[in-house]
Structure 1
Amino acid sequence: MSNFSKTFSSTLGRKLIMCLTGLFLCTFLVVHLIGNLQLFANDGGYSFNKYAYFMTHFTPIKVVSYLLYTSIIVHTVWAIIITQKNKAARPVSYAVKGANGSIWSSRNMGILGTIIFLFVVIHMSNFWYKYHWGETPYIEYHTDLNTGVTEIKELTAADYTQYVQYVDNNGIEIIKSKDLYKEVAFAFSSPIYVAFYILAMAALAFHLLHGFQSAFQTLGWNNSKYKPLVNFLGVWVFSIIIPIGFAAMPIYFFLFK
């Protein structure tokens, strides 16, 4: 076995892989949330559908997406390996367990991670899979570039085609795209799915409460110089703002759409 293989098969190596894939996934969460805020635009899905097309057809982003899928799988597999090895090394649980929230999250990272992984699988089957290979309907937007007014035209299956964007001789921008916005509205009309989505975001909050700070501890950056910033980002940004931001979407659609 090479030194490289030994390094990444060691306990520290596994934690380093978990750290790097976890921080990459944290970066994705920020970008994904910013993009999904287009769902709150009151424009019949125009902004969100344009964003969805851009994210699935812009080549650099398509390349990064494969890194994302790999990171999810590696992060999950390595988490299982680390959990099993920790159990093998300590077959008897500690007699006394802390009641502190962050300690609870560190003790239950396996459960939290399982909920999140299940959510990712369901979430991608509902949106990512249907958008690429399912029967996501098409919609057409006619925007007058002089007034900024947009008209929406529902399309029948006979009108379905690839994404189209052009400006006609009258200064009307015409965009025909898959209506992922409609898929989102349909999914979030289910109280069961909305409840599961919120549960998953709660699990994500606790998962990140421990995981984000743990990643910087693995890197050796959780010292007195960086700890206040790491704690602030870990608690307020990744454990509160981001999960609430995502949870607000199904609640908004369920109550107001």
Structure 2
Amino acid sequence: MRVPKDTDGDLLPDWWEADNGLDAQMAGEADKDEDERPMVSGPPAPGIKGDGLSAYEEYRGFLVMGDHIRTDPRVKDLFVYREDRVDVPDFEKIKLGFIVNTGLNAHEIQPNPGVERGPNAGRLINFNATNSGAGPMETPGHRAQSALGVIFDNAGTNVPSSRLGMTIPVVGVPNQVTSIIIYVNHILNLGGFVSTNTMFRLETFKYVVGHELGHGVHICHSACVSQSCPDGAMVAPPPPRVICGGGRGPLGGIR
């Protein structure tokens, strides 16, 4: 069995470092987390510039819907999984591996129940952090990193009918967001083309999902004072009038 050349002994093959903008002659590259794209408008958390995944973890890769992938240590990655609590025919066409106009590399994955407990149960994406090929030590640069969980469910009577989706908390990062809920019955009850045109209904679901996923990576409304980022972090470009605020068009209930 041939072993890839690793000149600096940092567990990353020289060829991979060269292909991904790292220095094959400099030890310590494995624990870096400096994904620069997309850039954010606010200062990053102290010592954390990237997506929460070390260069070694991005080289080792992830299982995405049964396929092993390696990710780019220069581009921020987002992992998302879904939970369908109601049955709608369009669901199989609603892919979560996208966020419109952000530059993120997004991946839809299956949850890992039983890996952990508590509010993040099933969302941890880099749980196998020991004995990973790096010997008995922890994976270089490891920080627990969670996926975003998107729940498709019907809203109860306590949820205003204009509310189409909700991110809890409304603006956070994947390790903070406990859930994203898409209120299926409220979307289906919008009427008009949503009721009569399958493609329009699908695009409406995608709009709502994409909007809420944005909140899950700390993208705020720029035109809604009540939802603007209080800490100066990433702010989205002015959204279409219909998806910002309440009651201003068919998608006015997205939060």
Give me the TM-score of the superposition, normalised by structure 1.
Answer: 0.25
More helix per residue: 1
Give me the TM-score of the superposition, normalised by structure 2.
Answer: 0.25
Higher RCO (CA-CA < 8 Å; seq separation 6+):
1
Q: Which has the larger radius of gyration?
A: 1
